[in-house]
Structure 1
Amino acid sequence: MKPTAYFCMEFAIHQPLKTYAGGLGFLAGSHFRAAKRLNQPLVGVSILWSYGYYDQLRDKEGYMKVEYIRKYYDFLEDINLKIPITINNNTIWVKAYKLEEDVFNTCPVYFLTTDIPENDDFGRSITHKLYEANNIIHIAQEMVLGMAGYEVIKECENVEIYHLNEPHGLPLIFKLIEEHGLDYCKEHVVFTTHTPLPEGNETQDINLLKSMGFFGNVDVKLAERLGGNPFNYTVCALRACKRANAVSKRHKEVCDDMWKHVKDKCEIIAITNAQDKYYWQDPIIRDAAKKYDIDLLRERKMELKEILFEEVADQTGKIFKKDRLTVVWARRFTAYKRPYILLYDEPRLMELLKKKKIQVIWAGKPHPNDNNMIATFNWIVSKTRGMKRATILTGYELKLSKLLKQGSDIWLNTPKLRHEASGTSGMTASMNASIHMSTLDGWHVEWAAMYPDDSFTIGDGVRDDDAYVANCIYNLLEEVADIYDTEDWWFKCCNCVNHIVEYFDAERMAREYAEKMYR
């Protein structure tokens, strides 16, 4: 069977390989681990970011600062392949490296870089930073992924299906149109959308794209017929692909409504995101839950909390206690996820921390150019500095993410309704006996419907203002604190660990992609 080529801007495969920013990369990493175990023919195409996303460090006063530190990897194979592409009428050379399957037990991934001596300063800078704010460089990155990625795959693999995981690699479509025609695209390309808001779907001036060479030799009139003017990447993908998928059932409802005006679009189905239990789940937690050995589950959970609290003490100088209900809010720092919500009524939070034996940890990375969210992060730093049993951590990457998921008791998710396409961090927390507490959005809609007793739902799914949501969270935490560390609590944790992998494990997701998208 011929492989599917999976184009994605980021892959979170393992901590040493820093080529990811957040959930999109986490999803790709889990997909590629699961597909390898299932012997599915899948090959990845991505970019080798010289400086990664960024390194989230602290300045001398303890506030977050952005640093760019060059990355080096000796486990990537140099396949001695360089591809020329044209950007802004200039030749840019793209070099390919390969992550072999046996390095991290994944399907193989080709990583592309322009940071080589053959290019000038602009050319080298294209693959320096993931999600570069400079729009010209950003478009050039997309051209590298789609155009050079296609040429590398054509040279190295015999591919049947091309999968765009988000439309960053959209120039791939125009390469295929140029060589095989639009009808070929509609039979051989599939597309996953992760963005539930119209403004979150990228648009560009079509003349800018044309001048940069984004469409290759394809007539701009055809490009406009596909994506409009301004040119909408998602609309183009929906019109040029065989099939598309949303990443949860709720997200499909949102997509159907959001794109109902688009004529000649392909079918949009739902494939709910999932995560890889073999990477994320602690094996002792897994085995204890299977046997409903509550004593062993509790013992192991306390050990994992102590490991997490060593990191807390090292970063912040605060000593957390393992017998307290530990609430974690950790994910990408962006406004719709409401990282500030626990501090909405600060006296109420202080009362919970003092009287209900609760402790709280925040973590997450804002975009390096999102000054508002960086200010929010540092505001939480300042708020929690003198607050006992509350703190915020830096360096939210795979390693810290696993520590937090294995060491937390409550995984708090607070997106504004109809803003979260799926969200996956709570899945891996639930695999480690951390109960998901979330507004009724994304994957939580399905989880709460399947097993309502295995999670906590914030609010009624209708009202969504901050005051209401914050009050619901405080009320829930008061109730939860009273049952924490009881026999009922650990029984609930066993159910949660056992039930979550029935549907939200990556092997189910990988099979669905193979059957519903690639076949």
Structure 2
Amino acid sequence: MTEYNKWFHPYKPDKKYSKKVAYFSMEFAIDQALKIYSGGLGFLAGSHMRSAYELRQNMIGIGMLWKYGYYDQSRAVDGSLEVKSIEKYYPYLEDTGIQVKIQVLDNANVHVRAYVLKPETFGTVPMYFLSTDVPENDHLSRTITDRLYDANDLTRISQSIVLGIGGAKVVEELGGADVYHLNEGHGLPAFYYLKDKGYSREHFAFTTHTPEKAGNEERSGDFLNKMGFFGRHLSAEELETQTVNDGMLSYTVAALRLANRSNAVSKLHAKVSQDMWKGYEGISEIIPITNAQNQKYWQDEALAAAAESGDKVAFVNRKKELKTQLFKEVADQTGKLFDPEVLTIVWARRFAGYKRADLLLSDEARFEKVLSNTKKPIQVIWAGKPYPKDQDAIDTFNRLHFFSKYRSNVAVLVGYELELSRLLKLGSDIWLNNPRVTREASGTSGMTAAMNGSVNLSTYDGWIPEFAKDGKNSFVIPPADLKLDMEGQDQQDQESLYHILESKVIPTYYGKPDTWHDIVVNGMKDVLPEFGSNRMAAQYFKELY
């Protein structure tokens, strides 16, 4: 164990970033070969760990080693979505020899083992992944780290205890940290455990990622107390000070109260978050630190070089090559042969109701008219993973699949993980993003699309208000009237989306190639460095830690 009683940095930390930070996240999207993530939260955390390494920051990551990952997205016999759980193996992770004990319910001997991902493997700061799948545990305890975001409440709470308390104990074995940063509230037990160990608010930082109810967990404080969530049994008086809303513990409110500083993930999201939580006493200030993505990992070097040098011919040729690479995947999955000369629109992210994957299908007759225009043709691709228990989102995915099935220029892809995400961003012309406004906290997929010459067509939400110049580096769907009900807002957004496609996007792509090229290149130039994660990682040290 003594060999691992250090942070494993292959460098001397930069003086600007010498404070020791332990960053806790339930998921990290580091590499296609490490399937321990579900979506945007993991993509963000992965880019953060890469940039922390590039900036020589004194940071480590604390995560979970999911035995089956999130899930493997596959197809049933009719092509509809099928969820598969396949055991994963990662021989490049090293057993640290660090094993700590935590209590879950009445079992005071749940063993948590730490495995290290060394920096040289994927270019991240040292990362420690926790597993309960060890021989010392009983069968039930071994299954705690089976699946990311397990649908069973007991398992989900146990996972938070493993990440929070188990993770904090592992950090102690590594020599401790100056700052413990929770990326979302999943690891909240860490704050309670560390507070009892004498740590104060100055040691705690918190990031809230979403205004969605599902992302702001709330559970019975009494039940959490019985589960061991707080690291020890709280008295009735102690528990009452922690809970809100008739004995419920809001993970977000608790984290905001325990942290010295907290942040939202865009300027708009900061305003939304400040309004959401303003009624609760004792919460920390919520500052904006806009999410970002890692340029070195995501951006195509040849495309970037052509944009930088102003070599339009090289740029256009490289973009066609990237589209061709994407279309090989389309052909492999669907049998459809897409044309690299044709305007290609991609919608790709987690399927969730507020993200409105099927907004283009709101008026099928109008959409069919656009799809059947042979003089100014388009190709459309959808991809993304619904939560495996979200039947509405799965139904949306399947509706899109069956709509696309016999249409040669529409495709729905499965396997939306890092590599497919990369192909789609490099190979698309338009990156479509149409969530209901104020519901998307940040939406980082559009950043990496812009880095690769894909033009954002987006509602005015998340990071977009900080970036977009309509008609100059993107196309913006004007905000719907928020006084309308949800159906009315959807109707306005649908009408605006069709209008922009028919009157701006398609005519510009086919009729004004020089203007189109300017919009593409402007997007590439404007997205960096402001929305590169090196800026974000530096801002965390300066403003949150």
Q: Report the TM-score, using the length of structure 2 for normalisation.
A: 0.92
Select between 216-225 and 343-352 the one with higher mean Cα deviation. Answer: 216-225
Q: Do residues 149 (structure 1) and 167 (structure 2) align?
A: yes
Paired residues for 1:17-32 under 5 Å: 17-32=34-49
Structure 1 residues without counterparts, runs of 5 or longer: none
User: In structure 2, what is the equivalent of residue 189 of structure 1?
Assistant: 204
1:483 aligns with 2:508: yes
Which stretch of the first structure deviates more once superposed, 281-290 or 394-403? 281-290
Partner of 2:6: none
> What displacement does 1:296 show?
1.0
Say yes or no: does 1:501 pair with 2:528.
yes
Aligned partner of 2:3 in structure 1 is: none
Of 456, 468, 476, which aligns to 1:448? 468
One-letter amino acid of the counterpart of residue 222, structure 1: E
- Counterpart of 2:240 (choices 202, 210, 224) is 224
Residue 289 of structure 1 and its aligned partner are, at CA, apart by 0.8
| 8 Å contact from structure 2 (residues 225, 234) kept in 1 | no
Do the aligned partners of 2:480 and 2:493 also contact (CA within 8 Å) in 1? Answer: no
1:155-304 matches, within 5 Å, as: 155-180=173-198, 184-198=199-213, 200-217=215-232, 219-220=234-235, 221-228=237-244, 229-304=247-322
* Residues 66 and 368, structure 1, Cα contact 8 Å, conserved in 2: yes
Q: Distance in 1 between matches of 2:447 and 2:262?
A: 23
CA deviation after TM superposition for structure 1 residue 224, in Å: 3.2
CA distance in 1, matches of 2:40, 2:79: 26
2: CA distance, partners of 1:243 / 1:265: 9
Task: Single out whichever of 221-230 and 499-508 deviates more from structure 2.
Answer: 221-230
- In the alignment, does 2:109 pair up with 1:84? no
Alignment of 1:353-432 (within 5 A): 353-355=371-373, 356-432=376-452
Give distance in 2, aligned partners of 1:317 and 1:368: 26
Number of aligned positions between the proteins = 514
Residue 88 of structure 2 corresponds to residue 63 of structure 1: no
Alignment partners' CA distance in 2, 1:471 and 1:461: 10
Alpha carbons 1:289, 1:495 under 8 Å: kept: no
Which moved further from structure 2: 197-206 or 122-131? 197-206
Deviations 1:244-299 (A, max 9, x none): 00000000110111111011111110000000111000001111111121111110
Separation in 1, partners of 2:317, 2:514: 13
CA deviations on 1:46-85 (whole Å, 9 max, x unpaired) are 0000000000011122111000000000110111121111
Query: Residues 448 and 457 of structure 1 are in contact (CA less than 8 Å); yes or no, is this contact kept in structure 2?
Result: yes
Give the structure 2 partner of residue 126 of structure 1.
Answer: 144
Alignment of 1:465-476 (within 5 A): 465-476=489-500
Return 372-381 or 359-368, whichever deviates more: 372-381
Q: Distance in 2 between the 1:198 and 1:303 partners?
A: 42
1:74-104 CA-partner distances (Å, limit 9, x unpaired): 1101111211111011121111100011100
Could you tell me which residue of structure 1 aligns to residue 111 of structure 2?
93
Which stretch of the first structure deviates more once superposed, 329-338 or 199-208?
199-208
Residue 2 of structure 1, CA deviation? 3.9
Question: Distance between the aligned counterparts of 2:444 and 2:270, measured in 1?
Answer: 16
AA of the residue aligned to 1:425: S
3-state DSSP of counterpart to 2:197: helix
CA distance 1:175–1:42, shift in 2 (3 Å): same
Query: 1:456-498: CA deviations, max 9, x gaps?
Result: 1112353562222112111111221112151221122111111
User: SS of the counterpart of 1:62?
Assistant: coil
TM-score, length of structure 1 as denominator length:
0.97
Instruction: Please name the residue that 2:5 is paired with.
Output: none
State how far apart, in whole Å, the 2-side matches of 1:156 and 1:214 are: 23
Q: What amino acid sits opposite 1:454 in the alignment?
A: N
Q: Could you say what secondary structure the match of 1:319 adopts? A: coil
Q: Does structure 2 retain, via aligned residues, the 8 Å contact 1:292–1:494?
A: no
Higher mean alpha-carbon deviation, 477-486 vs 84-93, is at 477-486
Verify: 1:47 aligned to 2:87, yes or no: no
Q: State which drifts further: 200-209 or 430-439.
A: 200-209
> Equivalents in 2 of 1:481, 1:92: separation in Å?
58
Three-state SS of the structure 2 residue aligned to 1:453 is: coil
The range that moved more, 351-360 or 66-75, is 351-360
How far apart in 1 are the matches of 2:215 and 2:534?
29
Q: For the Cα contact (< 8 Å) 1:177–1:218, is it kept in 2?
A: no
485-494 or 375-384, larger mean C-alpha shift: 485-494
Q: Distance in 2 between matches of 1:270 and 1:223?
A: 30
Rounded to whole Å, the distance in 2 between the matches of 1:57 and 1:488 is 40
User: 5+ residue gaps in structure 2?
Assistant: 1-17, 483-487
- CA-atom RMSD, angstroms? 1.3
Alpha-carbon offset, residue 197 of structure 1:
3.5
CA distance in 2, matches of 1:407, 1:321: 11
- 1:510 lines up with 2:537 in the alignment: yes
Amino acid at match of 2:377: K
SS at match of 1:9: coil
Q: Secondary structure at the match of 2:200?
A: helix
2-structure distance, mates of 1:191, 1:429: 28
C-alpha separation between the residues in 2 aligned to 1:461 and 1:269? Answer: 27
